[in-house]
């Protein structure tokens, strides 16, 4: 660059003849400048132009280098990929000394979802999985596409300036949990990693109702950074473990548990007394351990742990509960008759209320712990929809169902149907 500067300066100072007069470009420009500026005094030097490129400093030289794909106009995403590709070339160097760490901030910047997927798959397959040869990669992202694509145990969730690794050493996730979540933690569900609060629900009804309820009480979920995640079943356990911390984390390392608030909303799933009375449904159950022990003693059956799992379960037919006994031990017709004496159940309000309390305690005991900030909310009666139908908004619920059910909900014919519910 120094040599280039000298050549440029020499070019503009090189004399040439014009109209038999010897001139230089610098002298010609100086002539104009003398007219533009105040005349210099005898002791003051005038303005003399000088031609050169930028000073020969390394950072200045590097700033003037550019890498482009071709003559076609490239978007910012393409240029970012080009820059990443150029940087990755530096990793193919056997002479690297010390720890090799590659940091990429907001790797998804200006990339559409398919380009993000191609990039992260390439990094995982060709670089990150090769281990020490390419060192360690630390990527930051706000992309749900990438969060759903990368291995869960490689994720680190940042909350309140604390980094929470998602591997099994620091969470209560087990090997089969990772396999399950890798299959079902899609782009929609992975927004839980970017939320300020999470609501786990079991179905489409809750997924539609809860945001609407939040809007109606002026607590829109998006305004408070709350994500609602539809599990599509009652299998909350694996998703709940994402927000848990292991005893090693909280007790041995004495680090804080993940304070991110998580709500689990589920149904009671115990039918009301009206269901049994109106439909004349007969149910069957062994109510307590004492009845079980008496059955086993009278039938001369040796008690096993599996027998206790039958207690408290409600069956819709006598055959089903007898089959459960047969699955555990061989029983004859006489023993079946003994079991039949105990299992038919008269459904009462008190019994249903007792089962509801037991269900709530069971669910809370299963999911709430000291190593997470998860709280369980159970619909007080049967399902969330049924509980709403018993509330003071039941008329609105009936109208909403009616309007979505018919193309012409308020035709003369259909008006009669809605009056049954709304009066």
The pLDDT score that the predictor gives to residue 211 is 94
Q: If we measure between CA atoms, which residue out of 111, 93, 112 comes closest to residue 102?
A: 93
What average pLDDT score do residues 266-287 get? 86
Q: What percent of the chain has pLDDT over 90?
A: 21
The pLDDT score that the predictor gives to residue 80 is 79
- The residues facing 345 across adjacent strands are 283
The pLDDT score that the predictor gives to residue 73 is 54
The pLDDT score that the predictor gives to residue 321 is 87
Degrees, nearest 5: CA angle 145-146-151? 125
The pLDDT score that the predictor gives to residue 312 is 82
CB neighbour list of residue 277: distance below 8 Å, 6 or more residues apart:
347
| Residue in the block written with tokens 């700033």 | 63
The pLDDT score that the predictor gives to residue 210 is 93
**Higher-confidence position of 133 and 17:** 17
Within 10 angstroms of residue 302's Cβ, the number of other Cβ atoms is 7
Poorest-pLDDT segment among 133-137, 144-148, 255-259, 411-415: 133-137
The dihedrals phi and psi of 365, each to the nearest 5 degrees, come to -65, -30
The pLDDT score that the predictor gives to residue 6 is 83
The mean of the pLDDT values for the chain is 83
Distance CA 357, CA 400 (A): 31
> Would you give the end-to-end CA distance of the chain in angstroms?
91
Poorest-pLDDT segment among 36-40, 148-152, 322-326, 372-376: 36-40
The pLDDT score that the predictor gives to residue 113 is 86
The pLDDT score that the predictor gives to residue 248 is 93
The pLDDT score that the predictor gives to residue 123 is 82
pLDDT winner (highest mean) among 2-11, 22-31, 195-204, 395-404: 195-204
pLDDT digits (tens, 9 = 90+) for 363-408: 998 888 768 899 999 999 999 999 998 998 888 888 888 888 888 8
Q: Is the pLDDT of residue 61 over 60?
A: yes
Q: How many CA atoms lie within 13 A of 192 on its CB side?
A: 26
What average pLDDT score do residues 354-364 get? 89
The pLDDT score that the predictor gives to residue 35 is 60
The pLDDT score that the predictor gives to residue 57 is 66
Instruction: Specify whether the CB–CB gap between 191 and 227 falls below 8 A.
Output: yes
Distance CA 82, CA 63 (A): 16
3-state secondary structure the chain: CHHHHHHHHHHHHCCEEECCEEECHHHHHHHHHHHHCCCCCCCCCCCCCCCCCCCCCHHHHHHCCCCCCCCCCCCHHHHHHHHHHHHHHHHCCCCCCCCCEEEECCCCCCCCHHHHHHHHHHHHHHHHHHHHHHCEEEECCCCHHHHHHCCHHHCEEEECCEEEECCCCCCCCCHHHHHHHHHHCCCCHHHHHHCCEEEEECCHHHHHHHHHHHHHCCCCHHHHCEEEEECCCCCCHHHHHCCCCCHHHHHHCCCCCCCCCEEEEECCCCCCHHHHHHCCCCEECCCCHHHHHHHHHHHCCCCCHHHHCCCCCCECCHHHHHHHHHHHCCCCHHHHHHHHHHHEECCCHHHHHHHHHHHHHHHHHHHCCCCCCEEEEECCCCCHHHHHHCCCCHHHHHHHHHHHHCCCCCCHHHHHHHHHHHC
122 CB burial (10 A radius; 0-12, 13-18, 19+): middle
**Higher-confidence position of 198 and 88:** 198
Distance CA 190, CA 129 (A): 23
What average pLDDT score do residues 130-144 get? 77
105 CB burial (10 A radius; 0-12, 13-18, 19+): exposed
The pLDDT score that the predictor gives to residue 229 is 92
The pLDDT score that the predictor gives to residue 230 is 92
């Amino acid at each position: 660059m120094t040599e280039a500067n000298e050549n440029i300066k020499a070019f503009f100072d090189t004399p040439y003849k014009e109209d038999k007069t010897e001139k230089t470009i610098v002298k010609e420009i100086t002539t104009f400048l003398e007219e533009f500026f105040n005349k210099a005094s005898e002791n003051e030097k005038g303005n003399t132009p000088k031609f050169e490129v930028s000073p020969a400093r390394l950072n200045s030289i590097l700033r003037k280098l550019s890498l482009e794909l071709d003559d076609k106009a490239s978007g910012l995403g393409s240029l970012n990929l080009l820059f990443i590709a150029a940087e990755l070339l530096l990793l193919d160097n056997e002479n690297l000394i010390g720890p090799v760490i590659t940091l990429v901030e907001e790797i998804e910047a200006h990339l559409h979802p398919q380009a993000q997927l191609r990039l992260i798959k390439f990094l995982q397959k060709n670089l990150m999985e090769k281990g020490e040869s390419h060192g360690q990669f630390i990527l930051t992202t706000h992309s749900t596409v990438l969060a759903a694509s990368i291995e869960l145990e490689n994720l680190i969730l940042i909350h309140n300036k604390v980094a929470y690794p998602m591997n099994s050493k620091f969470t209560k996730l087990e090997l089969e949990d990772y396999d399950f979540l890798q299959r079902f933690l899609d782009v929609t569900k992975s927004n839980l990693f970017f939320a300020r609060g999470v609501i786990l629900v079991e179905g489409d009804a809750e997924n539609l109702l809860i945001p609407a309820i939040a809007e109606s009480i002026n607590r829109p979920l998006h305004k408070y950074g709350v994500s609602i995640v539809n599990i599509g079943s009652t299998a909350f356990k694996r998703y709940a473990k994402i927000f848990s911390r292991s005893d090693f984390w909280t007790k041995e390392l004495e680090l804080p548990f993940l304070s991110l608030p998580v709500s689990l909303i589920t149904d009671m799933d115990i039918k009301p007394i009206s269901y049994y009375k109106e439909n004349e449904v007969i149910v069957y159950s062994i109510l307590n351990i004492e009845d079980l022990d008496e059955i086993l003693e009278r039938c001369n059956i040796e008690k096993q742990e599996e027998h206790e799992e039958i207690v408290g379960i409600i069956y819709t037919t006598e055959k089903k509960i007898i089959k459960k006994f047969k699955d555990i031990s061989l029983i004859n017709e006489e023993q079946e008759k003994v079991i039949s004496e105990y299992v038919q159940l008269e459904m009462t309000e008190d019994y249903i209320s007792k089962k509801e309390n037991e269900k709530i305690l069971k669910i809370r005991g299963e999911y709430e712990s000291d190593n997470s900030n998860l709280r369980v909310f159970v619909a007080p009666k049967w399902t969330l929809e049924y509980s709403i139908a018993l509330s003071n908004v039941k008329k609105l619920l009936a109208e909403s169902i009616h309007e979505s059910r018919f193309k012409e909900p308020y035709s003369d014919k259909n008006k009669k149907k809605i009056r049954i519910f709304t009066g």
